[in-house]
Structure 1
Amino acid sequence: MITLPSFDEMYQALLDKNSQYEGVFVVGVKTTGIFCRPTCSARKPKAENVEFFSHTKEALTNGYRACKVCRPMKEYQSAPEWLVPLLKEVEAEPERKWKDYELTQMGFSPSRIRRYFNKTHGITFQAYLRMSRINGAFLKIKEGQTVTQSAFEQGYDSLSGFSETFKNLTGFSPGKQGQIVTINRIHTPLGPMMIGVTDEGLCLLEFTDRKMLETQLDVLKKRMKSELVTGKHPIIDQTEKQLEEYFEGKRKEFSIPLVVPGTEFQQRVWDALNKIPYGVTRSYKQQADVVGDVKAVRAVARANGENRISIIIPCHRIIGSDGSIVGYGGGVHRKQWLLKHEFENQ
């Protein structure tokens, strides 16, 4: 694990634009949601508005987007000449989903790009694009929450005035259709997680670097006829507290109300997952038997993968028939950690 210099030392290096710290850290600016190199020429933020990371991957995972001024996603000196045209295209269209065949048509080798990003930034090119899109969307939602908050605080002369503002922000009228899902990020020993709640309960808990997170957010919005707004909520606080107790080995069961819209089959699979005791594992085949169809192993595995509430709905307790630890959206390393943690704290 890389040990960073002290906060004061890094902050002074940032103020001084000290090039000796290039490659030592990148800095995330909480107020803008971007991360920068130590030598960035942009206006320097206050100390209370920054956090430092040893690697670009950490900044991305914690919800930041690359600065367009200092371009921290380039290698600390300069990107290789062959990659520059693509980086310019990505910068011009940050929301675009680049497919391998599109890269090939442009004359790039997807495998070469993948190797470069893995070596330089510790993530694949597609993972970088995905996290950038998610972080950008999160920032936009956060900006929207500010608008919503100001609507409540400033007040309106008529209900119709507020309703029009609300509809422009969320896409539907208040009280008529849909609902708001309050989302935020929480930190855990296994990395940052995105959490989503309604007044009825928890509906999303995913690691921010999960490949399916974008899809899960879209599915959630459609199934719940909802829009996403960042903010604070008592259920977020409750979940964060119970997760902290879980990771400390002090909690084996959660008492958080859940909101899990899905098909009838998915509901059965998720309900069966919730009944697996702490520290106990089942195979996909055993889980299919519990659900009521021993032949539905693949369908059960698929439903497990579509679970939107990690840890609390414990899909990490499902293993291969031979005891192998496979098939976890948050990453096999996290599944191994969770199972070891539960076995040791039974």
Structure 2
Amino acid sequence: MLFDLPNDDALYDALIARSAAYEGRAYVCVKTTGIFCRLTSPARKPKRENTLFYDSISTCMQSGFRPCQRCRPLEEAGREPIVDQLLSALDGDPAARWTEDDLIAQGYDPSTVRRAFKRSLGMTFLDIARYRRLGEAAKQLANGARVIDAQIEAGYESGSGFRAAFQRSIGKAPAMSQNRNLLFADWFETPLGPMVAVADQTHLHLLEFHDRKALPAELEKLQRKTRSSVAAGRTPAIDQIEAELTAYFAGKSAIFGTPLALGFGTSFEREVWSKLVDIPVGETRAYGDIARGMNNPQTVRAVGRANGANQMAIIIPCHRLIGADGSVTGYGGGLWRKQWLLRHENEMKTRALSMEEIQ
């Protein structure tokens, strides 16, 4: 970028005013709807706490947000015709699984398409098509569709495609050296999509959903802080957490006994995470509740940052934190996953209470 954006409060003021000052330079993502818009959008304005601001369309889409159908942020006057033509085709069927062969069949040169989209939108057409498919899958799940149906629609018929991407993300097995430790990473399927686990022989260091935007940065930070390299492989700690998550998703248990390596967090962050673990299954807390429980109600924003720094999805249950007004606020793994997890845990609690009544 050629200039720095103002802070989010100033951008929110621009959103309310429908200011054109940041047209093409800033976009608002709405956590509660999963939509991203221009700041000039005529759509109903979200609450401040439900907004995120990014400086590019690609960042919005990579974060799991879908383009608004009212302000149409993907459209731009004077853009190359090939871009508008293919975006129109995608709008007609956002769940379509485009390939380079499809482009060739319709008379397009894939390399020309790739360069045109990179110039206009900062990402390729095939990337946009994939993010649109994932967005459609998220909508289906939020509306109660079967998880397996949504996964198939998103293009995950099997694990082979993701396994290839996973191997690329962690790289080849590193050479061992005297001053580098070795961590192992593997993935496993869950009803909410693949999850990536990184562990040594005894402790889990990271557990995230495969498409979390921050995952590459988290892997890099983990290697730097632990002075380690990450290779593809299994350890007893990964086997244990997979078994525990299998029981969790089956509704049989919400107890996780896998030892956690939490050295990447500050003392304040670890205190917040311990408070999250104390939230019972089927219950939620507001950020302010956690701050007051730490005898410092002024630390609400710091609690939010600590919540976002959590690298142990589900087992350190940051999904149990909600807004002060009871709204289901943002979640690094995607708002639809947070909604699913809360429904699932509420059902687990209801079944447990029913069993107690029977007994």
Normalising by structure 1, what TM-score? 0.58
What is the SS of the residue equivalent to 2:230? strand
Match of 2:229 in 1: 227
1:138 aligns with 2:167: yes
Contact 1:239 1:256 in 2 (8 A): yes
CA distance in 1, matches of 2:328, 2:131: 27
Distance verdict in 2 for CA 1:315–1:135, change over 3 Å: farther
Give the secondary-structure state (helix, strand or coil) at the position aligned to 2:231.
strand
Change (3 A) 1:140 1:312: closer
Which of these residues, 205, 208, 215, is aligned with residue 217 of structure 2?
Answer: 215
What's the counterpart of residue 173 of structure 1?
A: 177
CA contact (8 A) 2:183 2:228 kept: yes
Which residue in the other structure is 1:298 paired with? 301
User: Aligned-pair distance for 1:112?
Assistant: 9.8
Tell me if the contact between 2:113 and 2:125 (Cα under 8 Å) persists in the aligned partners: no
- Residue by residue, what CA displacement relative to the aligned partner does 1:185-234 show, whole Å, maximum 9, x if unpaired? 11101100111111231111100011111111111111111110111211
The match for 2:129 among 117, 127, 131 is 117
Q: Flag the 1:330–1:123 CA change in 2: closer, same or farther, 3 A.
A: same
- Structure 2 contact 208–313 (Cα < 8 Å) conserved: yes
Amino acid at match of 2:214: M
Query: For 1:227-277, what per-residue CA distance to the aligned partner results, in whole angstroms no more than 9, with x for missing partners?
Result: 101112111111111101011111022111000121122111112111111
C-alpha distance in 2 between matches for 1:110 and 1:341: 37
Give the whole-Å Cα distance in 1 for the aligned partners of 2:110 and 2:291: 47
Stretches of structure 1 lacking an aligned partner (at least 5 in a row):
1-54, 58-70, 90-99, 125-131, 145-168
CA contact (8 A) 1:200 1:259 kept: no
Find the counterpart in structure 1 of residue 343 from structure 2: 340
Of 283, 286, 289 in structure 1, the residue corresponding to residue 289 of structure 2 is 286
Assess, with a 3 A threshold, how the Cα gap between structure 1 residues 285 and 143 changes in structure 2: closer, same or farther.
Answer: same
Identity over aligned pairs, percent: 36
CA distance in 1, matches of 2:271, 2:242: 26
Distance 1:313 1:329 in 2: 13
Kindly state the Cα deviation for residue 118 of structure 1 after the two structures are TM-superposed. Answer: 5.8
Q: Work out the number of aligned pairs and report it.
A: 231
CA–CA distance in structure 1, aligned partners of residues 211 and 111 of structure 2: 25
Distance 2:226 2:184 in 1: 13
Cα distance in 2 for partners of 1:283, 1:237 equals 33
Structure 2: how far apart are the matches of 1:192 and 1:222?
Answer: 25
1:316 aligns with 2:319: yes
1:187 to 186, 189, 199: 189
Q: 1:77 deviation in Å? A: 4.8
Q: Normalising by structure 2, what TM-score? A: 0.56
Deviations 1:103-128 (A, max 9, x none): 4xx4x24599599526875469xxxx
For 2:334, the aligned partner's letter is G
Q: AA paired with 1:245? A: A
> Are the aligned partners of 2:100 and 2:110 in contact in 1 as well (CA < 8 Å)?
no
Partner Cα separation in structure 2 for residue 315 and residue 288 of structure 1 = 14
Aligned partner of residue 296 in structure 1, secondary structure? helix
* Match in the other structure for 2:37: none
Q: Structure 1 residue 269 and structure 2 residue 298: aligned? A: no
Q: Contact between 2:99 and 2:126, CA under 8 Å: does it hold in 1?
A: no
Distance 2:106 2:294 in 1: 52
Provide the C-alpha distance between the structure 2 equivalents of 1:228 and 1:327, rounded to a whole number of angstroms: 29
Separation in 2, partners of 1:228, 1:116: 30
Does residue 99 of structure 2 align to residue 72 of structure 1? yes
Amino acid at match of 2:204: L
CA contact (8 A) 1:56 1:72 kept: no
- Cα distance, 1:135 vs structure 2: 5.5
Distance 2:167 2:303 in 1: 31
SS at match of 2:184: strand
| Distance of aligned partners of 1:187 and 1:81 in 2 relative to their CA distance in 1, 3 Å threshold | same
1:85 alignment partner in structure 2: 112
Q: How big is each residue's C-alpha offset from its partner over 1:45-78, in whole Å with a ceiling of 9 and x where there is no partner? A: xxxxxxxxxx898xxxxxxxxxxxxx93564655
CA 1:123–1:200 in 2, change beyond 3 Å: closer, same or farther?
same
Change (3 A) 1:314 1:72: same
Per-residue deviation, 1:281: 0.5
Q: RMSD of the TM alignment (CA)?
A: 3.5
Distance 1:249 1:240 in 2: 14
Aligned pairs for 1:228-267 (under 5 A) are 228-260=230-262, 261-267=264-270
Q: After TM superposition, what 4+ stretches of structure 1 lie above 6 angstroms from structure 2?
A: none
SS at match of 2:207: strand
Structure 2 residues not aligned, in runs of 5+: 1-94, 137-160, 350-359
